Each structure stands twice: as C-alpha cells, then as structure tokens.
C-alpha cells in the first residue's frame, strides 16, 4: 500500500499502525508495533473485557446496581451531567465505551481495583498494557503515572474479541455490540459509510487513537492507528480517516 507509506513519511507525528487479516491472523501492515505509548481511552477496551469476565466468574448480573462515588465523577461525562448516584454495571460499561465516559470508567476501576485489572490484562496476553491511574487524575499524571499499551497488544486484544474466545457467548456478543455502538465517527469511520466497526477511540493533548474490527463485505480485519507526539489534533483525526479509507478501499 504505497499511499500509506507516503502518508507515514509525511506525518508530523509518531505513527503506530497495524492492519491484520482476522481470518488468517496475518499482519498486513506493522509499523512501530512494540513501542509503548500512552493508551488514553483505548485502555477502556481491556477494562470492558475484564469487567465482563469478573461478572461472569463471580455470578453477578449486568443489571446489578453500583453506587456512584462522588470522587469518581469528572467533567465531560454523561453520568456527571445527569448527576446520577447509581447505575447498573451494563450502563457503566456502555457509557464507558460509546461516549468514553470517564466517570463510568473510574467507577468500574474501583469495582475491580488496579491489581485485578492489570492481572487480567497480563493473563490474556497484553504484555505491555498497564493501568496506573484513573481517568483525568492530573495529580498522578504530574507524578509520572500513565496508562500505556502497544499496537501489538491492541491487535492481540481485538483478535481475541473477534474470535470470541475470552467470555461466554452472551458476554462476547455484548462486548462486540457495545463496541459497535461507539459514537465517535470522526476517525476510522470518517470517510467510509455503511460499515460495521467494533472500535474505540482515545485522545489526549498530543495523542489521537482509533482501533477496532472492521466487518468489511469481503474481509474482516483489525486496524489500529495510534498517533503520539501530535501537534495538531484535527490533523490527527483526518489522518486516521485517510489511513482507514485507503485500507478499506484496498479490501474492496
């Protein structure tokens, strides 16, 4: 894909890029796969799987109600906007993914705890994915704590989601359904229409990510575009959209 190589050469940021054929498990593009970078909200995908596994193993229900701790409420959150005091586990998972709700995420982190979450990440083969802080915990950020991952880890995670190997059938389907309800269409879906994508975005001041499963009419594939050391966030969203469109058209 010469067009992609041209874009990579012209990019004014660091690009971690993976495209993987999910039927054959073959990597078609692998750029900076093993460099560790800030995960931003991409970390919410392994949290989604960890919580579903926890509910499954402990015979809880997704309709169980969780009290929202006031200290977990942060800005730019559906939960905070509505001043909710409780939610079901399913609602927390849904908002965490589809609107990237940080209050929901913080509550789910408390539900399992850092140790259980990181243990699960390693257990399923995420070698360099680590949760070190809650969302919008600027005090921890200033102390040098961050949530990190790699492009290879995310390709591995979404491959497991696609293969539906991690959970019971009901929860596998719920995970994919929630990821397909993602409301951010400004990156992987920016220039393509009428396609089902199970994906999650991530954003920080100098970070712009989007990764997920594209259910293409001819070939299901994983694509992950992770931009770091970014100077222009709007450029980042357009860049991810252009990469995604080139790959989509390639499979056409």
Task: For the chain, report the end-to-end CA distance as a whole number of angstroms.
Answer: 13
List beta partners, residue 33.
none
Q: How far is CA 173 from the centre of its chain?
A: 17
In the predicted structure, residue 209 carries a pLDDT above the cut 90: yes
Sign of the torsion angle spanned by Cα atoms 233, 235, 238, 240: negative
Q: What is the mean pLDDT of residues 23-44?
A: 97
DSSP 96: H
List beta partners, residue 220.
215
% of the chain residues with pLDDT over 70: 100
pLDDT digits (tens, 9 = 90+) for 40-72: 999 999 999 999 999 999 989 999 999 999 999
Would you kindly state where each structural domain of the chain is located, as residue ranges?
A: 2-251
pLDDT digits (tens, 9 = 90+) for 97-112: 999 999 999 999 999 9
pLDDT digits (tens, 9 = 90+) for 82-92: 999 999 999 99
pLDDT digits (tens, 9 = 90+) for 211-230: 999 999 999 999 999 999 99
Structural class in CATH, domain 2-251: alpha beta
- Report residue 123's pLDDT band, with 50, 70 and 90 as the boundaries: very high
DSSP string for 110-174: HHH-HHHHHHHHHHTT-TT-B--S-TT-HHHHHTT---EE-HHHHHHHHHHHHHT-SS-HHHHHH
Contacts of 195 (CB under 8 A, 6+ apart): 189, 214, 215, 216, 248
- Report residue 184's pLDDT band, with 50, 70 and 90 as the boundaries: very high
Mean pLDDT over the full length of the chain: 96
pLDDT digits (tens, 9 = 90+) for 149-172: 999 999 999 999 999 989 999 999
What is the distance between the alpha carbons of residues 12 and 82, in angstroms, rounded to a whole number?
A: 39
């Amino acid at each position: 894909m010469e067009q992609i190589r041209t874009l990579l050469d012209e990019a004014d940021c660091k690009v971690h890029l993976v495209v993987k054929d999910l039927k054959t498990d073959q990597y078609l593009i692998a750029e900076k796969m093993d460099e560790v970078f800030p995960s931003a909200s991409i970390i919410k995908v392994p949290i989604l799987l960890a919580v579903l596994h926890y509910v499954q193993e402990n015979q809880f229900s997704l309709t169980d109600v969780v009290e929202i701790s006031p200290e977990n409420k942060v800005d730019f959150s559906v939960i905070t906007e509505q001043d909710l005091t409780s939610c079901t586990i399913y609602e927390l998972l849904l908002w965490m993914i589809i609107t990237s709700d940080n209050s929901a995420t913080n509550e789910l982190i408390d539900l399992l705890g850092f140790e259980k979450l990181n243990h699960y990440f390693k257990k399923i083969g995420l070698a360099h994915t680590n949760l070190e802080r809650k969302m919008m915990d600027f005090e921890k950020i200033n102390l040098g704590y961050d949530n990190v991952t790699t492009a290879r880890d995310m390709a591995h995670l979404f491959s497991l989601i696609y293969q539906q190997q991690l959970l019971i059938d009901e929860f596998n389907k719920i995970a994919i359904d929630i990821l397909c309800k993602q409301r951010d269409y400004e990156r992987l879906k920016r220039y393509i229409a009428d396609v089902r994508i199970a994906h999650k975005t991530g954003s920080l001041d100098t970070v712009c990510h989007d990764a997920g499963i594209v259910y293409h009419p001819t070939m299901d594939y994983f694509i992950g575009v992770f931009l770091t050391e970014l100077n222009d966030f709007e450029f980042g969203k357009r860049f991810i959209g252009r990469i995604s469109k080139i790959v989509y058209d390639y499979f056409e």
